[in-house]
Structures are given as structure tokens and as C-alpha cells.
Structure 1
């Protein structure tokens, strides 16, 4: 009985010691802001085992150690792991695959820089296929650079920014629009641009009425350069025609990019089929007037071809 009591005491003490160590680990984890999933890494388990086997008084690696010699050894270790793969690249060829890519800062060039670096590392002669499911992101990035579309989006965003930057204007605008917001945020910057244009177009009459109302004319902002410019654009028929044009082009393509950015990633073949279907929608919306969509289709075809090459 005495022996059993001693065992229970020792187990209780062991549990307390384990809990204490675990709390130190947790404290480091939270302070470093590490993902909870990292606790599952085999390398973490190996580290804990190695520390336990060493015992007390293990010296901690220095700042220099972790930055230089230890990092160099880890790179050498990784390079050795890659040797077998490099031999297979030459023998069997290699497929480069990119997962879905969304960048809220429109850094499309970074993607191509990364791809270029990978191609150089693998060896152009060893690559048999490049597969990416983000073709629609690149398509919309370049379509957004077309002069008329870029100008229309810029003017629309300036109008929204002006309204939200000035409380008095915003209050007046909300009264005209029954308190509906002008902008809605979406998954990508391109979707946001589209939704902003869509909301502006729906509120066209109310927005125009605001900028010809007595309240606006008496507002001091109406005399300032920015106020005059915004009012001028809002009252231009050509601006609203450009908004309609841009919506006709972007609406079908936004459907594709939302499809790609969804939780369930469709196969590339399905994306191509969806893009072809939406191209038909664009053709119909412009009554087969090729001059309206020729430049847009040239970008789509080029980008989708590059995604499959």
C-alpha cells in the first residue's frame, strides 16, 4: 500500500513537471506567433527528444549560430535531399505546378519572376509542362490595363474616395441613396473594382441628382478643384457609357475568377470551358461587334495559352 502511494505521488509530480515544461513551450509558441499546426511537425518532435536526451545545461544556439553556420548546414542537407530529384528531372522531365494565387496588391510580376527563377533552377530543357490555375487572375490584371477600362476604374474609385473622404458629402450622398454603400469588398482587387462599378451604375440617377442639387451647389466642396472634377465626371455621359462597357467585359470574367478562388478548386479543363462560355456572353452583350471585344479576347487567348504551355 505504501509503495502504491509513493507511485501515485511520483506520477503526480511527473505530471506537474511535464505541465511546467509544456507551459514554457506554449509561452514560446504564443510569443513567436507560430501556427498551431507546427506542433505536428516531425522536426519539432525530434528537437524535443534531442533536448531531453542531452539533459540539463544544454547551451542555447547564438544569434550568429542560427543565422550563419546552422543555416548553411541546413541548406547543404536540403541540397543533398534534392540530388535524387535532380537526377530524375534529367531522366524523366519535370512538370512545374502553381496553385491558386491571389494578391491584393496586384503584384502579378512577382509570379512571373518566381516562375522564371524555378525554370532556371530546374533547367528549361528538363521542363515538359507548366500547369497553373491562376490564368484568370492574370487575364483580369492585363484587361484592367486597357486604357479605357483603366481610366473608367480610376475615375470610379476617385469618386468613391472623394465621397468617403468628406463627411458632409458622404452624408448628402447617403441621403440621396437611402443609405446604401457605394463599394463592396470582394476576394480580389478586380472583383472589388467590378462591384464598385456595378453599384455606381445602379445608383447613377441618385449620384447625378446629388451633384446638381442645391445642397451640393451650396457646399464649399463644390468650389474646390477635386469637387469640380468629380462632379464633371459624374455628369459626363461618356463616363457612364464607359462604365457600361467595362461591366459588360468584366462581369463574365469575374465569374471565372470567383470560381478559381473558391474553396473547391476546379480542374484546368473546367476553367477553360468556363472561360469560353463567358467569352460567348461577352460576344452577345456587344451584338457580335468584334471591335468592342477584340483587344480583350486577345489578352484572354494569350494568357490562357501561356497557362497551358
Structure 2
């Protein structure tokens, strides 16, 4: 008969001397209470499938129980190894401290190494480490402490992502509901990725907030005025022309012509050139035609380039500027 001493037997139904059925996902399997805990904790490698419907609090309890059992087993093994080592000529334990143990002792370098390995092994862009969401995630995990249980793949797929999707849909719906009173501005620009592919972004902005509407893959099409007019007209028709009061774009000839064509189709709309792009072109002309400005900017580029080529100098700069970085010039479309 199955022993009932462990509280986790309450989460399964007994079908036989050593066979059970999960109360949540109704999976039929056999084994000891360890398999029950592994199943509920969604841990792989215990010859049992993970539970896809286990409540979060049950999963957290099972995970904590499995971690406690693993820690007890590990301490027992270390004690045995220490005893064996004391009777040998080596006189030391064969246990090697792990990266997680070092991080728990507030070893900053070990934690930084784990973060670096996470980015490299998962092929994640290094720019992600500067995003507010990543920073808040790390701060939240550190503030929660060692008791935090990482969500399982099933929890991420079946609960967290769908909940985030619902929040985004609600956010967009709330903004769109304000367009009847305020209208919205359509903003568009084009850009080229590292593989030389052309894209066109279309964004709607209003006092309620901004909504990313579409990213158009231009493929083999040239970004002509006619092509932009067709694509952006489709977006405006989808939103409802009565909600669009303005079209903002860069100062390129194709966008200027596209804006004129849109106003010709919907006379209530306004066309406005992007102020940031205009300032960018103005500064570019100043750099091109004013010699002393060009010399100062070029000298500044040489200084930045020199500092970033010498790790010692850049380290000193960060030390005396409270870890501030020098913004390097880059190309924009």
C-alpha cells in the first residue's frame, strides 16, 4: 500500500499498490513520492512528465521540497567525502564550490560571470542589459531573495505570456478608445537592418499614448512614394480615416510626396516633417560647410576612438565620472 505520511500524496489518486493519477493533469504514472514531487515541481530528469496544470503555490512547495531534499543529500555526500578524505593522504574534500554558492556569498564576480554566460549561451543582444525591463527583473529577483522559485516553461507559456498579451491588448484598446475625441497622428520612417533589408515602421500617436501599428517588410520593393502611399493608406483605412488628423515623416522626397498624396486623398489631414530629422540634416550641413565645426567634431571622434582602444584609459574615465559612458557616433537611416 502507498504510504500517506508525506503531504504530497494528497495531490494524487491511488490506482494500485504503486500507481497514481495526478489530481490536476490526470497523468497516470508509478513510482515513489519523489516522482510525485518532481511531477508537481515540473522538474525534468526524474522519469516522469511534468504537470502542465499544477497551481503555482503547489509547484512552489514541491520545488522547495525537492531543493531541500537535494541539499540534504548533498550535505550527506560532502560529509562522507570529508570523512574519506580525512583518512586518506590527501586530507581534503573533493567538493568544488559552484557558481550559485559563490553568488549566495555575495561574490560579485561570480554573479557577473553568470550574467555574461546567460547572454552568450542564449545568443542575446548585449543591448538588452541596458533595458529597463531587464534591470527591474534583476532588482526584483535580488529583493525577493533565495526563496524565489523560477517560473517553469509551462507557467511561462500557459499563464505569464497570455496574461501579458491581455494587458497589452487592454492598453491598446484604451488608447484607441480616445481617438474618437482627440484623433491620432500617423508617424512613419524607414530603416535598414544588418542584412541590408528595408523596413517601414508605422506608429500611431495621441495624447493617450503611442501604439506600434505595423512593420512593413519591403522585400524587393523600392521605397518609392507610390509604394509608401499604398501601404500607409491601407493602415489608415484599417484605423478609420476620421481618426487620423496628421501624418509625420522624415524629410525624404519619397515621404514628402507620399504625404502630399495622402492629403489629396483625405483633405482633413495635415502633413508635418519630422523635427528631429530636420535638425539632423541641419547639423550635417553645418559639419559639411563650416570648417572649424568640422575640425572640432573630427577631433572629438579621434579622442573617443583613442579612449575606447585603450582599456586602462577608459577604466580611469569611468572611475572619475561615476561609471558614465561616452556616446559613440553611429550611422542612422
TM-score for both structures, normalised by structure 1: 0.34
Structure having the higher strand fraction is 2
Identify the structure with bigger relative contact order (alpha carbons < 8 Å, sequence gap 6+).
Answer: 1
Structure having the higher helix fraction is 1
